[in-house]
Amino acid sequence: MTAAPVFLSHESSLHHDTGQHPERIRRIEVILESLAGAPETSVYDRIDSPAARFSDLERVHSASHVERVAAAAEAGGAQLDPDTVVSAGSFVAALHAAGGAVELVRRLLAGGSGQVGFSAHRPPGHHATADRAMGFCLFNNVAVAARHATAALGVERVLILDWDVHHGNGTNDMFWESDDVLFASIHQLPLYPGSGRASELGRGQGRGYTVNLPVPPRSGDDVFISLVRDVVMPLARCFMPQLLLISAGYDAHADDPLAQCLVTDDGFIAMTALMRGLAAELEVPVGCVLEGGYDVDMLGRCVTHTMATLAAAPDCATVAGTDIPTHELAVLARERLLPFWPRISSAT
Ligand SMILES: [Zn+2]
């Protein structure tokens, strides 16, 4: 029998003090308050995240990067790039953010098919590169977790869907030449950090395993849902991952102040339901790692919806919005991916 859905957090997330900054302490407080008020909370297995080990971090980061973040916190704080603040509590918070993602993966794989979960910490991770903190991110939590799965837990193929509105450039770069981690990103372009064009497809044996799906400003549910259903899901049926991870940012929401996309609460529910349904179809676990989302009321609501949708029976036929028409951007993406994934069109 599959264990209860897992929800991982750690109080150190509340000690990463960024001050007057969109990526602020309140984000985690509202998520915890919103979940506490949700009726489903009782069935979630609430877990205090362990700290990541240096050996976990150093599968994707340089030792000098880890040391730089540690030293900045030790010194009482620093600004590592124009957007990225470190306070005295930030190194410990970042260790638990990465450690939570690793523990999520460990529990997902121990629970097997049907196991679901969410790792909700700050700082977020997907902009952090091997050697650089950027875009509010210190360590790349989802990448650390995916590499833990392949290096330590015997997983041969991981699919990461990044639906944060910003391109996950750090994750993109870390798996650029890898064919065991398929990275698919839906993001607004133009927008920070400016990378993630459709032509960026990976290199060497990793070519075709980086799938960038840029969308224009004002893209809403119809675009995002169709790209998940008509591109990411067929890709997954070709790639056959043993683990699904979602870099779950909520800043594509219409209420978000940092981008111009128009996804609604129902859009995120539909995307979650599709990925939950995909996990059931492939008989693999699925878990979310928190990225962005900067309107705090929206963030609390949407994480709670995601948790409830993951925990529900995987019957996406009953979820509103999953039956929209195929979007033109999805048709174009499938054509672009055909040389690498010849079966993609028949796998819809
Ligand atoms: Zn973002």
pTM: 0.98
Q: For residue 249, report the distance from its CA to the centre of ligand 1, in Å.
A: 6
CATH of domain 6-347: 3.40.800.20
Q: At 137, list the tokens.
A: 């991110």
Q: Which of 193, 155, 152, 28 is nearest to 96 (CA)?
A: 28
Q: For residue 127, report the distance from its CA to the centre of ligand 1, in Å.
A: 9
Cβ count within 10 A of residue 81: 13
Q: What is the pLDDT of residue 317?
A: 58
d(CA 112, CA 199): 35
Fill in the amino acid letter for 227: L
Which regions in the chain score pLDDT beneath 50?
none
Helix pair angle (63-74, 90-111), 10° resolution: 130
Strand partners, 7: 46, 118
Residue spans of the domains in the chain: they are 6-347
Any residues with CB less than 8 A from the CB of 42 and at least 6 apart, and which?
none
> Of 127, 167, 187, 305, which is the active-site residue?
127
Q: What is the pLDDT of residues 193-224, one digit of tens each?
A: 999 999 999 999 999 999 999 999 999 999 99
Q: For residue 200, report the distance from its CA to the centre of ligand 1, in Å.
A: 19
HEC sequence for 12-28 = HHHHCCCCCCCCCCHHH
d(CA 254, CA 260): 7
Helices (H) and strands (E) in the chain, counts: 11, 10
Please say whether the beta carbons of 212 and 176 come within 8 A. Answer: no
Q: What is the pLDDT of residue 177?
A: 98
Three-state secondary-structure class, residue 46: strand
Q: For residue 268, report the distance from its CA to the centre of ligand 1, in Å.
A: 15
Beta strand extents in the chain (DSSP E only)? 6-9, 45-48, 77-81, 84-87, 116-119, 158-162, 181-188, 210-215, 243-248, 286-290
Give catalytic status of residue 127 as yes or no. yes
d(CA 169, CA 149): 20
Distances (CA, A) of 207 to 176, 200, 335, 348: 8, 9, 15, 22
Q: At 94, list the tokens.
A: 């970042």
Q: For residue 266, report the distance from its CA to the centre of ligand 1, in Å.
A: 19
Q: At 23, list the tokens.
A: 């990526």
Q: What is the pLDDT of residues 58-108, one digit of tens each?
A: 999 999 999 999 999 999 999 999 999 999 999 999 999 999 999 999 999
Q: What is the pLDDT of residue 1?
A: 54
**16, HSE (Cβ side, Cα atoms, 13 Å):** 34
Please say whether the beta carbons of 310 and 286 come within 8 A. Answer: yes
Q: For residue 3, report the distance from its CA to the centre of ligand 1, in Å.
A: 31
d(CA 55, CA 195): 29
Fill in the amino acid letter for 252: A
Please say whether the beta carbons of 85 and 125 come within 8 A. Answer: no
Q: Kindly give the pairing relationship between strand 84-87 and strand 77-81.
A: antiparallel
d(CA 320, CA 167): 27
Q: What is the pLDDT of residue 323?
A: 87
φ, ψ for residue 217, nearest 5 deg? -50, 150
Q: What is the pLDDT of residue 43?
A: 81
Q: What is the pLDDT of residue 89?
A: 98
DSSP 213-264: EEE-TT-BHHHHHHHIIIIIHHHHHHH--SEEEEEE--TTBTT-SS---BB-
Three-state secondary-structure class, residue 181: strand
Please say whether the beta carbons of 119 and 45 come within 8 A. Answer: no
Q: For residue 237, report the distance from its CA to the centre of ligand 1, in Å.
A: 27
Q: For residue 343, report the distance from its CA to the centre of ligand 1, in Å.
A: 31
Strand partners, 25: none
Q: For residue 247, report the distance from its CA to the centre of ligand 1, in Å.
A: 10
Q: What is the pLDDT of residue 118?
A: 98
Q: What is the pLDDT of residue 319?
A: 79
